[in-house]
Structure 1
Amino acid sequence: MSRPSAHNRLHSAVYFLLLAVLMLLPAQGMSQPALSQNEKSTIQFFESVRHSPPMMRAFLDAMPKGADLHTHLSGAVYAEDYLQWAMEDGRCIDTATFTILSPDAPSNKSTAQDPCPQGSVPAERLFHDNTLYADAVNALSTRDIHSVSRMWGHEQFFSSFAKFNAGKLGRGADMLASVIRRAASQNILHLEVMDSIYPVTLKNIATSVGWSGNAEDTLNALRQAGLFESIENSVAARRALLDETRFLLQAGLEDEPGLAGGASAPVPDVSVRFIQQIHRNSSPEQVFAQLAYSFELVRHDPYVVAFNFVAPEDYPTALRDYTLHMRMIDALHALPEYTGTNITLHAGELAMGLVPPRDLRFHIREAVETGHARRIGHGVSVMHEDNAFGLLRTMRDRRVAVEICLSSNDQILGVRGADHPFPVYRKYGVPMVLNTDDEGVARIDLTNEYLRAATTYALGYQDMKALSRNSLEYSFLPGASLWADPAAFIMGGDCKDSPMGHETALCARLLEASDKARMQWQLEKAFVDFERDVAENMARP
């Protein structure tokens, strides 16, 4: 790595000077509470390892990270896991595309002796063919993205998903268990995982009902056609997934890499909620039926806390129908039974050159103002929006958080460093949270995203801590927040003066009543323990 620039050395010197001054100032009124000695030591140690990415990585891996709020379950699983399950489940691998196939896939060659479709081989061959295995991992992820001759990594990234579809069959609990274990190993407390659950009848019902252009009339027709009759089954299926995942975690049977022979490990204490996915590149009647079902599912299942549109924002149908989709959301959100529904929307996952300039000018604004989004996924093209500065102020004033996915934006859009709006959002006080997006496909984890933010944008330890706190503040966990001022993280209310570990009766009642406050309190306790460990152990050579 190159030596730190003069600018960076100057930045560090100024930072230490400001830190020294801040440490001498007493807390006043509603200002931030005085730093503890352990927190001061942690800040100093963070600065001492600023120019050592390996040491910074270890520090951030151990640091408590509240939540990952933008992660797709299928894309969060590593290719190696899909291939392992393919071998165990007797699946096949297409030797041209490296798509995972079921043995009974259509073929003019399949026989009892040769069960795989033509052009494919049994997945178990991966055990004995290292080249085939490496090529399969590359095809199911972006591991070898820089050798792929395509615009940025856009198509390589999105084409991966169809290739491991067959590998997911019957493996939902294994997938979720793998993601939970990885989160726990990084000291992540909460996950909001994007996944879809719909009745098999949805497509036929949507097609028969159609889209009239009137949301309320179409909703009534879908209801009369029986669309919502399977809601209870969907709720039960989600519970079954969670129960099976819990069983796997407790038994240590998910075969997570590193747990040789199925060795058991401590059960991860990670909270999990789901965000229902709506595929935006479908016909209007299909999208509306998914929307209606998602509004209703969020209403009935406490484990499904919101919905989101997914699939590339730049594909023709998504571009053509973007405004229509936002108006569909607006019409359903206006109904009394749906007004309180949490909504997070992929918006602005675009860049100059990917689409015509006209398509960069309104997506984020419409998601906020028409789509009622409380969080925006990616938001990369914000400065291309009409009246971009006014939009930033609107997002700040409404506390609409941006789900920042730095590695994903680099791989898919080629947007990184100073070209990314991260510093702009920060300058205008728009709340941000760091996320992985698709950590398996992107070959990253959440610690990597914290490291990338810290090193790219010269953030300090207090900035890292704020991003971690933000992730719980802007989660869709129900209940009151612990923070009287979420922008400055000033505690108020019943837990303001309560000691940790010896909570007052008022504070205990708040923590019992509010999932969000309880998780935030857990994070604050984790920070106290972490900063003590840094001061007593990590900072010592």
Structure 2
Amino acid sequence: MRYLKHLSLLLLLSFLVGCAPMPNLPQSDDEGATSALYERSFETHVPNVAMLNLFFTQMPKGGDLHHHYTGSIYAETYLEWVKNKGWFIDSCTFKIVKVKGNETCKSVSVDELISNDTLYRKLLTLWSDKDFDNHSHEQLPPDSNFFNTFGYFSPISDQYMDVGLNIIKERALNENVSYIETMLSRVGVNSAEFFSAEEAKNINAALRHATTQEEVNALLDRISTVYTQNQSFDAKVHHFVSEVEHRHEGIDTENFTMRFQTYAVRVLEPLQVYTDLLAGYKAVLSSPLIVGVNIVAPENNTVAINDYTLHMRMFNYLVSHYPQVPHSLHAGELTIGMVEPKELLFHITQARKIAGADRIGHGVDIAYEKESLSLLKELKEHAAVEINLSSNEFILGVAGKEHPYTIYAAYGVPIVISTDDSGVSRDNLAHEYVLLASRYHPSYATIKTYVYNSINYSFLTPAEKAKVKIQLDKKFEVFEREMSTLAKNLK
């Protein structure tokens, strides 16, 4: 009964969150006028999306804390890079071909591809989510279409990374975004260089058979010792750090900051996953530009499902050795029907309570988690949730009242709004705020809280956060003054 009472209260709060007033806080005249202008977009039954687009394009948006470098570059840009390289596109598979051969299908240049509208439009549907909903013929499931895009542009994605980072920066500046925290790449240490195939096979089997944190710790101690005693491991980490620092040159300005996360890929063998995580932690300790570690790839993948708890225990081990290194984890990017029901019961819970995640990426399956009520309290006090509305809708089919945003908001869990893969989804951060507003109608004060959350829960240093927040204060003063003027001129 007590559970039902708590659940009923939670559902009531989630229903009321869109219209519940915020606490009475002092407001400037311009801030009040800006809030009133925002509310004018909801005067009719259907929100005025055009006005919301204008409003959020102009609004300072703080930071974008959850996005992937490769998924943030548009397909058109990747094609420019393919052309620069003198590479080709296979006209059947739409894969990048570096050298023309005796292939069954003709390899075409980028110019030839673009001149053929049928081929060009087909490529855009495979390299991004473009026109997916317009198709009436047989096609891949949405999640497969989304994640397959990375395989198409992966050969070119890191060839012009310095250019790509500047493109992401320019887009951020155009959107009035002050800070971006980009999931860049793995460090690139190959476990096969340190362990024989037979050793790796035995280690992987032992890790997968371990049933307690203590057993996992003992195995990770042995692996870590091999890496600690081998100078080439540290050399590879330092090479990665040097590359990041080189590519970052000229990015930061007085009004803009970019930092990076590195990650492991959860669909690989356990030894390689741990190798990537350990290398990532050491990279964070080696450079102020690399601020966090993550784990990526489809959470519903068979390997990812089977090794999920093991991966969380790897983070638990690393947190105990490197407590100063922040980490945000993709967790709960699942929904009913996507996996067996038992897999919806614990992913976010373990990401926070075993792995100690500072932020949760996605967190969509919260309503299905067995310990959801205690988990909400845990998140409210110790972590933030990165909400990615566009990708959640496309990959999971979760949107509107099916999305757990209302639960998190009602409970007071810190929320940040982010893009995930804006190049694949073909949107931007302003669009994510438009979706948020048009679907849930949070107050302007609540939206400002989310903007400041994107700095408060970033992995910047305290001094860097203070600097960006002062800049954000000034930007909001300008924005609210402009919106106040706009409100006076609108009839």
TM-score range, shorter chain: 0.7 to 0.9
Question: Are the aligned partners of 1:101 and 1:166 in contact in 2 as well (CA < 8 Å)?
Answer: no
3-state DSSP class of the match of 1:302?
coil
Question: Are the aligned partners of 2:189 and 2:233 in contact in 1 as well (CA < 8 Å)?
Answer: no
1:309-348 maps to which residues of 2 (within 5 A)?
Answer: 309-335=295-321, 338-348=322-332
Mapped partners of 1:201, 1:361: distance in 2: 33
Distance 1:34 1:198, change over 3 A: closer
Instruction: Return the match for 2:179 from 190, 195, 198.
Output: 190
Question: Are the aligned partners of 1:207 and 1:286 in contact in 2 as well (CA < 8 Å)?
Answer: no
Which residue of 2 is the match for residue 237 of structure 1?
243
1:336-485 maps to which residues of 2 (within 5 A)?
Answer: 338-398=322-382, 400-479=383-462
Which residue of 1 is the match for residue 294 of structure 2?
308
Which residue of 2 is the match for residue 92 of structure 1?
88
Deviations 1:479-530 (A, max 9, x none): 1xxxxxxxxxxxxxxxxxxxxxxxxxxxxxxxxxx01111111111111111
1:164-313 maps to which residues of 2 (within 5 A)?
Answer: 164-199=153-188, 201-205=190-194, 210=200, 211=203, 213=207, 214-225=219-230, 226-243=232-249, 246=251, 269-313=255-299
Deviations 1:230-287 (A, max 9, x none): 22222211111112x64xx9xxxxxxxxxxxxxxxxx894210001021111001111
After TM superposition, the runs of 4+ consecutive aligned structure 1 residues lying more than 6 A away are none
3-state DSSP class of the match of 2:178?
strand
Tell me which moved more, 348-357 or 142-151. 142-151
1:169: Cα distance to partner?
Answer: 4.3
3-state DSSP class of the match of 1:184?
helix
Question: Are the aligned partners of 2:189 and 2:236 in contact in 1 as well (CA < 8 Å)?
Answer: no
TM-score (norm 1): 0.79
Mapped partners of 2:196, 2:24: distance in 1: 56
Mapped partners of 1:46, 1:190: distance in 2: 24
3-state DSSP class of the match of 2:166?
helix
1:152: Cα distance to partner?
Answer: 4.9
Question: Are the aligned partners of 2:345 and 2:368 in contact in 1 as well (CA < 8 Å)?
Answer: yes
Question: Are the aligned partners of 1:194 and 1:277 in contact in 2 as well (CA < 8 Å)?
Answer: yes
Write the letter of the residue equivalent to 1:524. D
Q: Percent identity?
A: 33
Question: Are the aligned partners of 1:278 and 1:309 in contact in 2 as well (CA < 8 Å)?
Answer: yes
1:126: Cα distance to partner?
Answer: 2.4
3-state DSSP class of the match of 1:164?
helix
Unmatched runs of 5 consecutive residues or more in structure 1: 1-10, 23-30, 110-116, 250-266, 480-513
Question: Are the aligned partners of 1:206 and 1:222 in contact in 2 as well (CA < 8 Å)?
Answer: no
Mapped partners of 2:37, 2:479: distance in 1: 13
1:317: Cα distance to partner?
Answer: 0.7
Which residue of 2 is the match for residue 129 of structure 1?
116
Question: Are the aligned partners of 1:152 and 1:413 in contact in 2 as well (CA < 8 Å)?
Answer: no
Which residue of 2 is the match for residue 522 of structure 1?
471
Mapped partners of 1:207, 1:159: distance in 2: 31
Write the letter of the residue equivalent to 2:168. V
- RMSD over aligned CA atoms reads 2.2
Deviations 1:122-177 (A, max 9, x none): 22212422222111111100012122645751111001110011222421112111
1:65-104 maps to which residues of 2 (within 5 A)?
Answer: 65-103=61-99
3-state DSSP class of the match of 1:65?
coil
1:32: Cα distance to partner?
Answer: 6.0
1:134-149 maps to which residues of 2 (within 5 A)?
Answer: 134-146=121-133, 147=135, 149=138
Mapped partners of 1:540, 1:207: distance in 2: 72
Question: Are the aligned partners of 2:60 and 2:476 in contact in 1 as well (CA < 8 Å)?
Answer: yes
Q: Considering Cα pairs closer than 8 Å and 6+ residues apart, tell me whether 1 or 2 has the greater RCO.
A: 2
Unmatched runs of 5 consecutive residues or more in structure 2: 1-15, 208-218
Mapped partners of 2:464, 2:286: distance in 1: 18
Which residue of 2 is the match for residue 40 of structure 1?
32
Distance 1:529 1:305, change over 3 A: same
Tell me which moved more, 383-392 or 119-128. 119-128
Deviations 1:283-314 (A, max 9, x none): 01111111110111111111110010001001
Distance 1:152 1:457, change over 3 A: farther
Write the letter of the residue equivalent to 2:238. E
Tell me which moved more, 444-453 or 133-142. 133-142
Mapped partners of 2:350, 2:393: distance in 1: 24
Write the letter of the residue equivalent to 2:272. Q
Question: Are the aligned partners of 1:92 and 1:100 in contact in 2 as well (CA < 8 Å)?
Answer: yes
Write the letter of the residue equivalent to 2:402. D
